[in-house]
Amino acid sequence: MASKFVYKMFQEYYNRDFRLENPPEQIGSREFGFVLFSEGVVRHKKFNTKDELTAFLQKFIPLDAYYSCAYYENPEADMEKKGWLGADLIFDIDADHIPTMCEQLHEEWICSNCKFSGKGRVPKNCPLCSGEKFEVKTWPCETCLASAKHETVKLLEMLMRDFGFSKDDIHVFFSGHRGYHIHVECEDVKELDSIARKEIVDYVSSLGLEISIHAPILKSLEKKQNFGRNIKFLSSGWSQRLFLGLQNFLKKAKEEDLRNIGLKKDTVNIIMNNKDLILRGLRELEKLPTVRGLGSETWRKIMEHVVMLQSAKIDTVVTTDIHRLIRLPETLNSKTGLKKVEFPISDIDRFDPFREAVAFKKGVVEVKVSSAPKFRLGDEIFGPYKNERVELPASAALLLVCRDRAEVVE
């Protein structure tokens, strides 16, 4: 149950600061859904104008607000009677799907059965009682969000280069929590069914990718055909992505990087000693030069790693769901008190979620913090905290309360 403090802050935001400058296209054809403080989940709502929607938000003060990626004849009807007309193409990139080293510092879990606790990625089974259910406390840290942004950049590049979408078709948002949303809104995607969207998901995530098709050199090496070493990489799609990714990986690779993908010490030494030759062959001839000791197994391991680096880690279920509800822009995320905010593709490198998404700039609140890692909001650094009473700016206090890391001192 959300606290009175959270309700008060959200109420203040929606009645004083909320501005929906760019409402969803064809707003009257969308379904809206909300998680309200008292009533819980409310769905199948329709609004004809952004003013109607704003009035609802100000009156009912949602914990979370969503709208459908789909367009309907009758958004207020039950699902089978809505009359599906099409849907935007939605991608969700969340730090939960991206392994990071910082998990060991701020992720906490408690076994629901025996209450044994630990830090880091949640185990499949409790080490103490073998239970499978856990209470998990995550944290939206800068490293996690940098990883999510990196995956977002890769996805944007694929959508524009490989699929041919223009910047005008694509809208990029910080979700207000631990990731980014990408909305593709154009007629070309509107009528795609779930199967077609699954094909797009498979492409961007490299699911089922057969490397030999995109790098014919591997087949020739496997058959020990020397002439095969002169076969070029193909020049588009995943072939081009593999070709450029291979160069980038080898250019930066250290011995440790090569060992981590399963290469033996002797093989690593051969690659390091011939790196300039290999890179020159790729750069100037678009071919793998002949290097004694480097066969198909070695190159396949390297290319499989490159595919992993080049693919985008997305929540696949979100993209294939043609009825999906997605968070409404400029609304607050109940997990952080931060806003979902849109920004231009050209600004992605310099976009700072811990500055741009902060909704509250004034006020001070005293809280008792159970535990919290070191974190930043705007230009200020806070924490780490452990069982302490501290006075914090309202935005920092709200973040801790929303993450269930603190309680307001009355």
pTM here is 0.90
Please tell me the CATH code under which domain 360-410 is placed: 3.40.5.50
To the nearest whole number, what is the mean pLDDT of the chain?
Answer: 92
Tell me: pLDDT of 192 over 70. Answer: yes
Q: Would you list the domain boundaries of the chain?
A: 4-94+159-201+315-355, 103-137, 211-310, 360-410
Tell me: pLDDT of 34 over 60. Answer: yes
**Superfamily of segment(s) 4-94+159-201+315-355:** DNA primase, PRIM domain (3.90.920.10)
Q: Is 261 exposed, middle or buried (0-12, 13-18, 19+ CB in 10 A)?
A: middle
DSSP one-letter code for 189: H
Judge contact between 208 and 179, C-beta under 8 A: no
> pLDDT tier at 228 (50, 70, 90 boundaries)?
very low
Going by C-alpha positions, the residue among 51, 101, 88 that lies closest to residue 171 is: 88
Q: Which CATH number applies to 211-310: 3.40.50.1360, 1.10.8.160, 3.40.50.720, 1.10.510.10?
A: 1.10.8.160
Tell me: pLDDT of 223 over 60. Answer: no
Tell me: pLDDT of 1 over 60. Answer: no
335-362: average pLDDT: 97
Higher local confidence (pLDDT), 393 or 286 = 393
For residue 335, give the amino acid letter: K
The pLDDT assigned to 224 comes to 56
Name residue, tokens 């002949």: 290
Higher local confidence (pLDDT), 224 or 394 = 394
The pLDDT assigned to 216 comes to 64
> pLDDT tier at 307 (50, 70, 90 boundaries)?
very high
